[in-house]
Amino acid sequence: EVQLVESGGGSVQAGGSLSLSCAASGYTSNMRCMGWFRQAPGKEREGVAGIYTNHGGTYYADSVKGRFIISQDNAKNTIYLRMNNLKPEDTSLYYCAAGAGVGGWWCNLESQAYDQWGQGSQVTVSS
Q: What angle do CA 49, 105, 101 make, to 5 degrees?
A: 50
Asked if 126 and 14 touch (Cβ cutoff 8 Å), the reply is yes
What pLDDT is attached to residue 103? Answer: 87
What pLDDT is attached to residue 22? Answer: 98
Residue type, 114: Y
What pLDDT is attached to residue 120? Answer: 96
Asked if 36 and 90 touch (Cβ cutoff 8 Å), the reply is no
What pLDDT is attached to residue 6? Answer: 97
What pLDDT is attached to residue 57? Answer: 96
Residues 86-122: tens digit of each pLDDT: 999 999 999 999 999 988 889 999 999 999 999 999 9
What pLDDT is attached to residue 64? Answer: 98
Residue type, 69: I
β-pair type (10-13, 121-126): parallel
Q: Is the pLDDT of residue 42 over 90?
A: yes
Residues 65-75: tens digit of each pLDDT: 999 999 999 99
